[in-house]
Amino acid sequence: MEPQVGLKVKRIEAEAWAEPGPGMTLEALEAELRRLDHVIIEVDTDRGRIKVMQFKEEFNG
């Protein structure tokens, strides 16, 4: 019988949020990110930030 107990890395996730530098508005940041060909995943107006990356990988076996 195969052992049924062990420890493994099941999942790795990553995300990145861009925040405007001094004097830059959120709207200007969005325009700049689009100019740089970022994928705009989410605009969080409450926290003044824009999500530009989301990654998730599951490991099986």
Partner 1 sequence: MASLIVNQGLQRIGINASQAVGFAAGRFIQTMSVDDATGAFAAANTKLDDGAGFTQEFDAVLDATPTIAAQTVSHVMTVPTGSGNFTISRIALHDDTAANVNSASATLVGGVDGQSLTKNNSFSLTITLKITYTSA
Residues that bind partner 1 (CB under 8 A): 3-22, 24, 29, 32-33, 36-38, 49, 52-53, 55, 57
Nearer to partner 1, 22 or 45 (CB): 22
Nearer to partner 1, 24 or 42 (CB): 24
Q: Which residue reads 């409450």 in tokens?
A: 46
Half-sphere exposure of 7 (CA within 13 A, CB side): 0
Q: Which residue reads 């099941």 in tokens?
A: 10
Shortest approach of partner 1 to residue 33 CB, angstroms? 8
What is the Cα–Cα distance from 29 to 31, expressed in whole angstroms? 5
